[in-house]
Amino acid sequence: MKNISGKIYLMLGFSLAGTSVVTGSILTEKLNGRLVTPISLGIMLLCLFPFYGVRSIRLAGCLKKRDLAVFTLQAGFGIVLFRLFLLTGVGLTSTVEAGILTGTTPAITSILAFLVLKETCNSRTVLGIACSVLGIVLIQKNPQNSAAFSMSHAVGNLLVLCAAASESTFNIISRKYREEGNDTELFSVPPMIQMYLVSLIAFFLSLIPGFYKQSVLSLSTIGWREWLALSWYGLVVTALAFIFFFQGVKRSGAYTTATFSGMIPLTSMLLSLFFLNEPIGLNQWAGGGFIIFGMLFIGRQS
């Protein structure tokens, strides 16, 4: 039951994280991507402060320096760098392609799990991850993407790949220190408190790139649609998705986490179709099917 619940938490967490691509595309139409992170985090921190703010600050004073360092790494890679790369890249490439390229996260996470965590993988794990990677390859072979890329388009794709690498690093950091729970206080920290502390650290880290040569006056030009997207980015993509992720990573191995991160490109692809009306070819549908099959194959191990 613990393994099954872990997979459900991971699926929900990564599905919500997949909405960040479409939400980011909406926000970067009128806002600089660097400004989105501190504003959305600020909204979330203010809304949840009456419930978790005081408890989180008190708990922070009881944590060891090593635990705070882990939170800082999680905030840096999982929120600040991931969003900085993604929001900058999505403004230079298409939303569908950005979502697709985030699908490299399972492959990168698996490589890091093998190299850093020294985790072994059986045939089911290899086949499940291979299906996810095959799905990503099929999605990228969309005939509508065969036109020559401009330099800015190529740079956008590279930045999204950097976002995927940041997400993978976050996954490995979370898993590594959860496994060392006996030596740290992290294992006993409630997910909501951990989410709040990580977001608070990320807020302060994002202030420098967020307001560097960026006027806050640009916020006066946005409407209710953008404010709603900012609230979603903070309360759902950050708070709720991270809670599900922290619950799932406690119950799952690194390879399972890697495979279920394939929900990010799949969710992004579907949302781009229904909300942004971006065309999706047969290869992309087939690739999405392989991603689902990969997750189900890994899930059979429970």
Contact 249, 10 (CB under 8 A): yes
CA 143 to chain centre: 27
Q: Confidence band (pLDDT; 50, 70, 90) for 27?
A: confident
Helix (H, G, I), strand (E, B) or coil at 150: coil
Angstrom distances, CA of residue 196 to CA of 6, 69, 176, 187, 292: 21, 15, 20, 15, 31
Contact 55, 48 (CB under 8 A): no
Measured over the CA atoms of residue 139, residue 143, residue 145 and residue 148, the dihedral's sign is: positive
Q: State both tokens at 272.
A: 């781009």
Contact 294, 11 (CB under 8 A): no
Q: Confidence band (pLDDT; 50, 70, 90) for 20?
A: confident
Q: What is the pLDDT of residue 200?
A: 93
| Angstrom distance (rounded) from CA 89 to CA 158 | 8
pTM of the model: 0.79
Higher pLDDT, 302 or 8: 8
Closest CA to 110 of 119, 122, 123: 119
Higher pLDDT, 250 or 181: 250
Kindly compute the dihedral angle of the four CA atoms of residues 146, 150, 151, 152, in this order, to the nearest 10 degrees. Answer: -110
Higher pLDDT, 245 or 123: 245
DSSP classification of residue 148: P
Q: How many residues appear in the chain?
A: 302
